[in-house]
Amino acid sequence: MKKLLVSFLFIVLIFSGCSKNNKQMQKNSAAGESQIAEENMEDSPLKNTIKDVDEIHRDVKVNYTNIDVKEDLSNITNLQAYYDEIAIPDKVKEHIIKDGFYVDNSYGSEEPFQTYEYNEYLSMSNFVTTDSMVHLYHVFYDNTLRKIEEDKFLPMLKNFNSKMLEYAIKDYTEAKDDTVKEAAKKNLILFETGELIIGDNLIKSDNNLRVDEEIFNLASDEYKNIRSEKSLVSNISGEDFDYSQFKVRGHYTKSENLKKYFQLNMLYSQNKFYIKDENQLNYGNIIGSLLATKNILKDEELSKIYLDVVGTLDFLVEESEKASPVKMAIYYKKYFDKTSDINKLNDKKVLEKIGEDLDKDKLEIAGFKGNYFAIIPQKAPIDNKWAQKLVDVGGNGPSQKPIYKGIEIMALIGNQTAQKLVEEDEDIKKWDKYPKIFQNLRDEVENLPENFYNKNLYRGYFSLMKEFSNTYGNKSPKFMQNENWNKKNLSSALGLWAALKHDTILYSEVVSAEMGGGYDVEICNFVEPNIKLYERLDYLLNFTKENLTDRNLLDDEQLKAFDNFIDLNKFLIECSVSELENSTLSKEANDRLTSIGGEMENIFISFVDPNAKAFWELEDSSQRDMAVVADIMQVPANTWGLKEGDFQEVGLGYSNDMYVVYALNGKLYMGRGPVLTYYEFQSENRLNDDEFRVKLRNNELEQEAFTNSYSFNIYNDLGY
């Protein structure tokens, strides 16, 4: 399957001078995406493709044999490795006998692979969880994105901003028409503010010596507003502006360059030039967008930078639904000559045609606010599109559904446990329109085309989350055949979702409403047999490797890490097949599973910092800490009693240990493995990762209530 990135296609259409017939756009409401006809694209020098890869599917003849656990647990072969001289709490016995597993939330590990390393040291069997593998994928995704941003994109955007500033100065100088002059002024202030962010000071650099004093002072004030992180009036748009959005969050706190990259992108995305003001066309904003677009189109280097950055982000994250230079290039080419007098841009009839056309765009995120232009508008992730429909945007009083919850997103992608929790949620029930809205959206998601989740890596995450619901019915291991296991899987999927929201916090347009001595025990390891999830992970890893390699964005160390990760994942598939077919794992396979913690640690380090030789050698301690958080929307006035203005936060916490009983080689064993944890709460301020970690260490937050049926603090039951 071959698909062209929409962003690149727009620009290709401009440069190749394709006819109107080649610019047809087809809407797919279920997928929420646009497709552009691909005729005559093959010879374009700017053609950019997403390369598909093969998917693997293993046929498994499930023949797993369960063994009942005795009431005194005496037939668990290696139980003494876990409980030797300590009495086993009744709650533990109850869960082992009834469910075949339990989770101990009395403490958390900084990284999941540490549990396996502790197991090896204490002669405990490993239960290799899907959680540990999908978390490793999150580590790969987050750190690949971080390295591309810091090493590739920031230098490119520095050059981009500098050149755009030069063109903006020229436009401002040449503008005679008052409306064009004012539009050019806004662009000039924006890119001058970008120079101040890049320089991290209020001193004129070689790049902005030509900026006059008035513009420099306005840009300086704007930079001060950004540093204040308060709600103030923008010096660019003249509108009220929430500068708390510039608070550096996500992985962007890890270096000064990443902080600059974060704020520069926020500058480009949060300065929104709305096409309409109170239902009246804003001619100046349309002109300003055409000016910026003209400057990108006329400069080959700027065009390439823009394509490289935006196109790669479209692959890593998602496309935008709002107007950008990509979209405005169509209108500029159609109505204005590239070398024309910029004062001729103020053609009311043409501007009205453009405005009317832009006003017809189907906007799924905060669409009630109208369309706008931004230099690099934020992306429109699929879950944000869904979530926008799940909140009551108000308008006629306080919102009856002010926020959305993680369980709603999981229910939409088919998680039945989440569906039940949504139906039982007392807050959600307060909105009488919700059942119909949710069902309509659920039907849309169910009918998405088969390849929908193959378009980019962000959607690929959701294909992983969907696979957490897999079972083999009554042929599955006992621990997989109960409601508590389903709840555990839901919590794991939510943890992965929170990590995704953290990794893409900069780009997502938010939803809006208004070894040592031990016991001589047999070590017999087991892999959580979710083959479809591992197969999906194999696809995503190869899909990513192929496309990032094609863009020359991976170095040799990263390629090696990819290969090691892919090999480990294929190994877990083979182990899972053997388990389900009731075959015996080879000694070599069991030995590899015993030391899997070290193998995962090496993959982890190669993604985070290849120069480090061990986990504890990572210079930045935050790189060793898995807990991350993201704000996903702001709370509006509402009928739920939530504080207006607070931020809805979702977080991935520290991993807890899960103890699982499984049958292997005709015996029962207990294994231990890590599971992800999920937090959802409101905060007065936007939180960064460090602030979230403090709250976790101070026990200020609780996991979702539905986890209480299988997860508990074992030390409380031991009387410690």
Three-state SS string across 46-80, please? CCCEEECCCCCCCCCCCCCCCCCCCCCCCCECCHH
Reading the block at residue 49, the tokens are 């493709």
Which H/E stretch holds residue 495?
helix 483-503
Q: Taking 80 as the threshold, does the pLDDT of residue 290 lie above it?
A: yes
Confidence band (pLDDT; 50, 70, 90) for 518?
very low
Which phi and psi (to 5°) does residue 84 adopt?
Answer: -100, -65
Q: What is the pLDDT of residue 705?
A: 96
Q: What is the pLDDT of residue 613?
A: 66
Instruction: Using the structure block, give the residue that is written with the tokens 């007098």.
Output: 341
Residue pair 531/576 in contact (Cβ under 8 Å)? The answer is yes
Q: pTM value?
A: 0.87
State the maximum Cα–Cα separation within the chain, in Å, rounded to a whole number.
90
In this prediction, residues 541-551 reach a mean pLDDT of: 91
List the alpha helices (DSSP H) in 102-177: 113-121, 130-147, 154-174
pLDDT digits (tens, 9 = 90+) for 623-639: 789 999 999 999 999 99
**Other beta carbons within 10 Å of 212:** 11
pLDDT digits (tens, 9 = 90+) for 147-176: 999 999 999 999 999 999 999 999 999 999
d(CA 557, CA 561): 6
d(CA 359, CA 322): 10
CA dihedral (430, 432, 435, 440) positive or negative = negative
Instruction: Compute the C-alpha angle 566/673/694, nearest 5°.
Output: 100
In this prediction, residues 667-691 reach a mean pLDDT of: 96
pLDDT digits (tens, 9 = 90+) for 324-358: 998 899 999 889 876 679 999 999 999 999 999 99
Q: Taking 80 as the threshold, does the pLDDT of residue 453 lie above it?
A: yes
Q: What is the pLDDT of residue 652?
A: 97
Confidence band (pLDDT; 50, 70, 90) for 450?
confident
d(CA 505, CA 107): 28
Confidence band (pLDDT; 50, 70, 90) for 366?
confident
d(CA 454, CA 540): 8
Q: Taking 50 as the threshold, does the pLDDT of residue 417 lie above it?
A: yes
The average confidence (pLDDT) of the chain is 87
In this prediction, residues 667-682 reach a mean pLDDT of: 97
d(CA 313, CA 33): 16
Q: What is the pLDDT of residue 360?
A: 84
Residue pair 375/271 in contact (Cβ under 8 Å)? The answer is yes
Q: Taking 50 as the threshold, does the pLDDT of residue 213 lie above it?
A: yes
Write the CA distances from 257 to 146, 157, 200, 221, 224, integer angstroms. Answer: 11, 12, 10, 22, 19
User: pLDDT higher for 659 or 4?
Assistant: 659
Q: What is the pLDDT of residue 379?
A: 86
pLDDT > 70 fraction of the chain, expressed in percent and rounded: 88
In this prediction, residues 461-471 reach a mean pLDDT of: 91
**Which residue, 656, 567, 579, 640, is CA-closest to 606?**
567
pLDDT digits (tens, 9 = 90+) for 9-47: 334 333 333 333 333 333 333 333 332 222 232 322 233
Residue pair 645/87 in contact (Cβ under 8 Å)? The answer is no
Q: Taking 90 as the threshold, does the pLDDT of residue 291 lie above it?
A: yes
**Which residue, 108, 95, 102, is CA-closest to 656?**
108
User: pLDDT higher for 397 or 247?
Assistant: 247
d(CA 684, CA 223): 24
CA 659 to chain centre: 29
Residue pair 442/623 in contact (Cβ under 8 Å)? The answer is no
Q: What is the pLDDT of residue 3?
A: 36
Q: What is the pLDDT of residue 611?
A: 75
d(CA 643, CA 636): 8
Confidence band (pLDDT; 50, 70, 90) for 319?
confident
**Other beta carbons within 10 Å of 554:** 20
pLDDT digits (tens, 9 = 90+) for 593-619: 999 999 999 999 988 887 766 666 666
Write the CA distances from 200 to 196, 226, 242, integer angstroms. Answer: 6, 11, 20
Instruction: Using the structure block, give the residue that is written with the tokens 């066309």.
Output: 281
Residue pair 240/246 in contact (Cβ under 8 Å)? The answer is no
Confidence band (pLDDT; 50, 70, 90) for 84?
low
Reading the block at residue 663, the tokens are 């049958």
CA 622 to chain centre: 19
Q: What is the pLDDT of residue 610?
A: 74
In the chain, where the domains are located:
79-141+403-717, 150-378
User: pLDDT higher for 491 or 616?
Assistant: 491
**Which residue, 305, 46, 321, is CA-closest to 152?**
305
Reading the block at residue 245, the tokens are 């959005």
Residue pair 113/601 in contact (Cβ under 8 Å)? The answer is yes
Q: What is the pLDDT of residue 66?
A: 94
**Which residue, 518, 554, 513, is CA-closest to 143?**
554
Confidence band (pLDDT; 50, 70, 90) for 49?
low
Reading the block at residue 75, the tokens are 């037939």
